[in-house]
């Protein structure tokens, strides 16, 4: 390592390290953005169907309230499972695309299903608030 | 820098039928390793096992002597071109290039047939162009090793020539594993050849040895 006493020398030796660090951080940010974009695209393959099911559950929840909450929750989970089974075989080939970009099936399913379920629960609680 | 991919001790059976039992292959940076074999011998299964997509009863896959069970989790180490179309058909070419960190202008410059097609969805391309784009991105994207499972399928002779040219270029900084039923181009470009038969890999040097193992029939 080059160590110089002058201020300019220190600046010159520190600057490349900072530039490299910034470049690495940008690269990591880009990778994260790409991964989010890929997961978003994957979610688009079933969000419409899932949203329709969520909307139907919201209507039922508006009518009957918390008395059918557990039934609706099991219904939502069952439909998500069916969607999972369908997409798993229907889009089997496309998983190679995601894998070649470092996005595993576990990450794709984990993020999209959790997000979908979270949105579902938030919407049901919002319905309950305005009921 | 030179890197080595080795795999052995792979065992795979389906319903009591042994598919793979005695396999050893080695691939290095700067070398093209070809794998040949009849239909149903397990070539694609073997590559899927190496990539981590298919679970084997036993396996040992090593990158520079470090065991990596799920190659698909490490695109920096290994990328895989499956024998079928894998890019979502709705994606535009520029989107695919962006995902793989590639420059579309380079493709346009070298292959004018793709000029100003960056906004075209890959599903709208001809079968040959679609396959070519898939092979191109896998070959060109940053990685130490590349597996190509039937890269010449759906391609016309002119496109095959282009793919061979790309493979030779990428060989400079990558190790390549390749299989296809068009065995002549494989023999032409491979530095090392293996023949998969009865679940075992046999290093072979030429057509005569392949004939001995029942892969080709010469002079008939």
pLDDT score recorded for residue A14: 66
The answer as to whether A107 is a domain residue is: yes
- Distance CA(A84)–CA(A76), nearest Å, equals 12
Interhelix angle A105-130/A69-90, rounded to 10 degrees, is 150
Using a CB–CB cutoff of 8 Å, tell me whether A38 touches chain B.
yes
Interhelix angle A69-90/A47-64, rounded to 10 degrees, is 170
Using a CB–CB cutoff of 8 Å, tell me whether B72 touches chain A.
yes
Mutate to test the interface with A, among B55, B78, B82, B122 (most CBs of A within 10 A): B82
How large is the ipTM?
0.93
Q: Which residues contact B172 (CB under 8 A, 6 or more apart)?
A: B30
Q: Which class for B35: exposed (0-12), middle (13-18), buried (19 or more C-beta within 10 A)?
A: buried
Using a CB–CB cutoff of 8 Å, tell me whether B104 touches chain A.
no
Q: Which class for B122: exposed (0-12), middle (13-18), buried (19 or more C-beta within 10 A)?
A: buried
Per-residue pLDDT tens digits for A12-31: 666 777 777 776 777 667 78
Nearest CB among B86, B99, B141 relative to A93 is that of B86
Number of domains in chain A: 1
Residue A11: band (very low, low, confident or very high) from pLDDT cuts 50, 70, 90: low
- Distance CA(B167)–CA(B147), nearest Å, equals 11
- Cα–Cα distances in Å, from A116 out to A79, A83, B20, B205? 12, 12, 41, 55
Minimum distance, in Å, between the CA of residue A36 and any CA atom of chain B: 11
Range of the domain at A64: 35-130
**β-pair type (B24-28, B4-14):** antiparallel
Taking the domains of chain B in order of start, what are their residue ranges? 4-86+144-212
Q: Name the residue among B38, B63, B60 with its Cα closest to residue B49.
A: B60
pLDDT score recorded for residue B213: 87
pLDDT score recorded for residue A2: 44
Instruction: Walk along chain B (220 residues) in steps of 10 and give the mean pLDDT of each run.
Output: 93 91 93 94 95 93 94 95 96 95 94 92 95 97 96 92 96 95 93 93 88 78
pLDDT score recorded for residue A39: 97
The answer as to whether A21 is a domain residue is: no
Q: Which residue of B has its CA nearest to A35?
A: B99
Say if the Cβ atoms of B87 and A97 lie within 8 Å: yes
Q: Which residues of B touch A93 (CB under 8 A)?
A: 82, 84-86
The answer as to whether A16 is a domain residue is: no
- Distance CA(B167)–CA(B176), nearest Å, equals 8
The answer as to whether A87 is a domain residue is: yes
Using a CB–CB cutoff of 8 Å, tell me whether B50 touches chain A.
no
Residue B34, Cα to own-chain centre: how many angstroms? 9
pLDDT at residue A44 above 80? yes
Q: Which residues contact B151 (CB under 8 A, 6 or more apart)?
A: B81, B131, B135, B163, B167, B178, B180
Rounded percentage of chain A residues whose pLDDT exceeds 90: 73
The answer as to whether A18 is a domain residue is: no
Domain spanning B4-86+144-212: CATH superfamily: P-loop containing nucleotide triphosphate hydrolases (3.40.50.300)
The answer as to whether A12 is a domain residue is: no
pLDDT at residue A3 above 50? no
Report how many Cβ contacts below 8 Å link chain A to chain B: 41
pLDDT score recorded for residue A1: 42
pLDDT score recorded for residue B220: 53
pLDDT at residue A7 above 70? no
Q: What is the DSSP letter of A91?
A: T
The answer as to whether A76 is a domain residue is: yes
The answer as to whether A114 is a domain residue is: yes
The three-state DSSP-derived secondary structure of A5-17 is CCHHHHHHHHHHH
Per-residue pLDDT tens digits for A84-125: 999 999 999 999 999 999 999 999 999 999 999 999 999 999
Using DSSP, state whether A78 is helix, strand or coil: helix
Mutate to test the interface with A, among B44, B71, B86 (most CBs of A within 10 A): B86
């Amino acid at each position: 390592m080059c160590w110089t006493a002058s201020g300019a020398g220190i600046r010159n030796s520190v600057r490349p390290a900072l530039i490299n660090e910034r470049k690495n951080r940008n690269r990591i940010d880009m990778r994260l953005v790409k991964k989010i974009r890929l997961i978003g695209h994957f979610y688009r393959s079933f969000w419409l169907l899932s949203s329709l099911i969520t909307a139907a559950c919201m209507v039922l929840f508006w009518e009957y309230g918390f008395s059918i909450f557990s039934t609706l929750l099991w219904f939502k989970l069952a439909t998500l499972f069916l969607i999972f089974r369908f997409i798993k075989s229907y889009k089997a080939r496309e998983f190679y695309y995601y894998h070649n970009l470092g996005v595993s099936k576990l990450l794709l399913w984990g993020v999209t299903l959790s997000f979908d379920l979270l949105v579902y629960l938030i919407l049901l609680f919002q319905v309950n608030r305005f009921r | 820098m030179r890197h080595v991919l080795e795999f052995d001790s792979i065992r795979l059976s389906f319903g009591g039928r042994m598919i793979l039992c005695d396999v050893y292959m080695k691939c290095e940076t700067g070398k093209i390793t070809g794998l040949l074999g009849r239909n149903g011998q397990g070539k694609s299964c073997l590559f899927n096992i190496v990539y981590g997509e298919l679970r084997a009863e036993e396996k040992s896959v090593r990158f520079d002597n470090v065991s990596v069970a799920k190659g698909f989790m490490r695109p920096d180490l290994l990328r895989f071109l499956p024998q079928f179309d894998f890019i979502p058909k709705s994606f535009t070419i520029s989107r695919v290039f962006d995902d793989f960190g590639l420059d579309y202008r380079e493709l346009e410059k070298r292959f004018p047939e793709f000029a100003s097609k960056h906004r075209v969805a890959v599903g709208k391309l001809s079968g040959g162009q679609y396959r070519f784009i898939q092979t191109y991105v896998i070959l060109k994207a940053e990685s130490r090793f590349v597996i190509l499972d039937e890269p010449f399928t759906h391609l016309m002779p002119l496109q095959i020539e282009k793919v061979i040219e790309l493979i030779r270029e990428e060989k400079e900084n990558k190790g390549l594993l390749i299989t296809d039923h068009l065995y002549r181009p494989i023999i032409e470009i491979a530095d090392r050849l293996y023949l998969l038969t009865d679940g075992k890999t046999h290093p072979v040097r030429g057509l005569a040895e392949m004939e001995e193992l029942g892969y080709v029939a010469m002079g008939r």
